[in-house]
Amino acid sequence: MKKLVINAIAAVVLLSTVQVAQAETTPKEVNIGYQKANIFALLKYRGTLDADFKKQGIEVHWIEFTAGPQMLEGLNVGSIDLAATGDAPPVIAQAAKADLVYLAHSPASPKTEAIVVPENSTIKTVADLKGKRVALNKGSDVNYLLVAALENAGLTYKDITPVYLAPSDARAAFQRGAIDAWVIWDPFLAEVETNAKARELKNAVGLVPHYTFFLASRKFAEGYPQTAEKLIDELKSTSDWANTHSDATADILSKSTGLDKSIWAKALARMPFGAERMTPQVFKEQQVLADKFKNVGLLPVAVNVNSATWSLDKH
């Protein structure tokens, strides 16, 4: 009888421990970094993630950033838990010792970024960029496109003069002729093509895959794996909706960014949404990026991209 009582007490203690552990897998709040022009903006404006998390007692805070590098600085210092950026920012963040993990990635979208020149520019090929002033957002995904395009044309990064500008400043410089070329992504690419008749010199097709990566701090992903998994599910659901409701998506993103809906319609025609689990092949492609950046001096140290692997199966 005494043994039965002891076993019963042990069972109650074990059950309580399990219940506490389960309770601890749900955070009280989630801080998400977003840009006005990416899929997290769709999540924010549609409110589906907020509604689902609210049912679990999770409060969502949306924190806006102008670009991926700044967003991952926020992830590194702990001001946000989740982020979505292009190819290059995660690698640069890893070089800065950010303890992040890759949760998932979008489909490749190489048509959504390009090197553009003024309509009447004498520059006809990437090789013609030698000695020219090329604007770009330093450390962004287009930085990778520029490195790869120059290499493909037999040039090096030292053969051009990079002018590091945020998109709004680069757009103004492009308009007044202060730069010779601009490396930029959608929807800014669609805007300058539409309103300034920019001519596409080279997009990323055949050069770099150009993904959007969905990232988390390792502390958050390992501490709240079910919440991280739920985010991926929400991204998949929102992607399916966006891919089949292009007009409504253009409307939301137009309101988010202030850009005309027609510009977004042009951008969305070449912008597939999705959220796919990371694979060895995608990590391999990211390692190519990391190695190239190290070789041209854009990274101070070598980066092992695989060190940022995360899997729900481990938790």
* Span 105-137, pLDDT tens digits: 999 999 999 999 999 999 999 999 999 999 999
Task: Say how far apart CA 278 and CA 214 lie, in whole Å.
Answer: 10
Place of tokens 């989740």: 82
Start-to-end Cα distance in the chain: 38
Domain that holds residue 194: 110-203
CB atoms within 10 A of CB 219: 13
Measured at the CA of 112, the angle between CA 111 and CA 113, to 5 degrees, comes to: 95
Same domain, 100 and 221: yes
Task: Say if residue 104 is in the same domain as residue 215.
Answer: yes
2 occurs within a structural domain: no
Q: What is the chain's mean pLDDT, rounded?
A: 90
Residues 226 and 101 in one domain: yes
Of the residues 152, 168, 203, which one is the last residue of a structural domain?
203
Distances (CA, A) of 97 to 4, 284, 300: 53, 20, 11
Residue 220: inside a domain: yes
pTM exceeds cut of 0.85: yes
Task: Give how many domains the chain has, as a whole number.
Answer: 2
Do 183 and 118 share a domain, yes or no?
yes
> 12-16, 139-143, 176-180, 286-290: which has the minimum mean pLDDT?
12-16
Q: Residue 218: how many CB atoms within 10 A of its CB?
A: 15
Over residues 77-96, the mean pLDDT reads: 93
Pairwise CA distance, residues 310 & 315, whole Å: 10
Yes or no: say if 98 and 72 are a contact pair by the CB < 8 Å rule. yes
- For residues 75 and 197, membership in a common domain is answered with no
Same domain as 232, residue 96? yes
Answer with the one of 203, 234, 261 that is the final residue of a domain: 203
pLDDT band at 55 (very low <50, low <70, confident <90, very high): very high
Helices (H), the chain: 2-23, 39-46, 48-55, 68-77, 88-95, 141-152, 167-176, 188-195, 218-223, 225-244, 246-257, 261-268, 280-295
Query: In 10 A of CB 52, how many CB atoms?
Result: 16
Determine the pLDDT at residue 311: 76
Q: Specify if 259 maps to a domain.
A: yes
pLDDT at 314: 52
- 162 lies in some domain: yes
Provide the residue type at 251 as one letter: D
Check whether residue 86 and residue 196 sit in a common domain: no
Per the domain annotation, does 68 fall within a domain? yes
Residue at 303: amino acid letter: V
Residue 140's pLDDT is 86
Do 231 and 87 have their domain in common?
Answer: yes
CA-based angle 169:174:177, to the nearest 5? Answer: 125
At which of 135, 169, 203 does a domain end?
203
pLDDT of residue 313: 54
What CATH number should be reported for the domain holding residue 170? 3.40.190.10
On whether both 220 and 199 belong to a single domain, the answer is no
Report d(CA 188, CA 115) in Å as an integer: 12
Report the 10 Å Cβ neighbour count for 140. Answer: 26
Instruction: Check whether residue 30 and residue 179 sit in a common domain.
Output: no
pLDDT digits (tens, 9 = 90+) for 8-31: 444 444 444 444 344 447 899 999
